[in-house]
Structure 1
Amino acid sequence: MKHFDAPPTGKTVCETTMIVFQITAALRTSTPRRKTGGPMPRHCLTLDLKDDPAAIAEYKRYHIKIWPEIRDSLFHAGVEGMEIYLLGTRMFMIMDVNDRFSLSAKAAADAVNVKVQEWETIMHRFQQQLPQSGTDQWWVPMERVFNLADQ
């Protein structure tokens, strides 16, 4: 059997191979990983925009650079990553959060934050509640029905 020298990192070939496999496996999961290696909680929500091209364009313009107070309220609540996608009028939001995040706690904090309320009032001009929405509910949580990592 041929002997391989340790890679320049000081790790053995076997250790290096295991690291590559761990990195590859982490990249294949559908959920971002914490620095400690565990999965990061994820919330996926949906909402519609009004079927008005000018309103949709204005909504997108607002999201090019959100207000600093809105960004800070998200980070403070434990949101570590957020993306919003749009197809026609249907939006899909992905929120990657830390363990201290709670949808109800975020809603309570937003209710007393003047800048968040101002932002929400503006955004509601462009948004249309889904039939599944509660009376004061805009973004509706979605159910995950598939995860490749579980296969």
Structure 2
Amino acid sequence: MDRYCFTLDLKEDKKLIDTYKQYHRSVWPEVKDSLRDAGVINLEIYLVANRLFMIMEVDDDFTFEAKNKADLANAKVQEWEKLMWNFQQKLPWVKTGEKWVMMDQIFEL
């Protein structure tokens, strides 16, 4: 099993952040299914101020390429991503169109 960590910012607006949190209390079943089908075993998202932190644990067959391809072919996942982008904003140093940025692990105990 592999684990990946990502970060992303939300727009600095309390009302938008509250709405984003509400959506994540009931993530659409199609989105959950797509994650499981891709080999995601566990996924957690944490929030501090407007900064998100995501931990994704995947099975041995998981690839980002296969997940991205499946996501592009899934209309509900695309609808979810478009909706979420209303709340999210790219980090200042990433390329246009990029969202979640993979983080480098720098310590482990």
TM-score normalised by the shorter chain: which range applies?
A: over 0.9
Matches within 5 A, 1:102-121: 102-121=63-82
What's the RMSD between the two structures over aligned residues? 0.8
Contact 1:46 1:142 in 2 (8 A): yes
Query: Which blocks of at least 5 consecutive residues in structure 1 are unaligned?
Result: 1-39
Q: Which has the higher contact order (CA 8 A, sep 6+)?
A: 2
TM-score where L is the length of structure 2: 0.96
TM-score (norm. length: structure 1): 0.70
Aligned to 2:39: 78
Instruction: State the shift of 1:134 in Å.
Output: 2.5
In structure 2, the partner of 1:146 is 107
SS in 1 for 2:7: strand
Q: Which runs of no fewer than 5 residues in structure 2 stay unpaired?
A: none
After superposition, give the CA deviation of every residue in 1:69-118 in whole Å (9 maximum; x if it has no partner): 00000000000000000000000000010011112221121111100000
2:94 is matched with which residue? 133
Report if aligned partners of 1:132, 1:140 keep a CA contact under 8 Å in 2. Answer: no
Aligned twin of 1:94: 55
2:18 to 45, 49, 57: 57
User: Which structure: larger Rg?
Assistant: 1
How many residue pairs align between the two structures? 109
Give identity over the alignment, percent.
53
The structure that is strand-richer by fraction is 2
Match of 2:29 in 1: 68
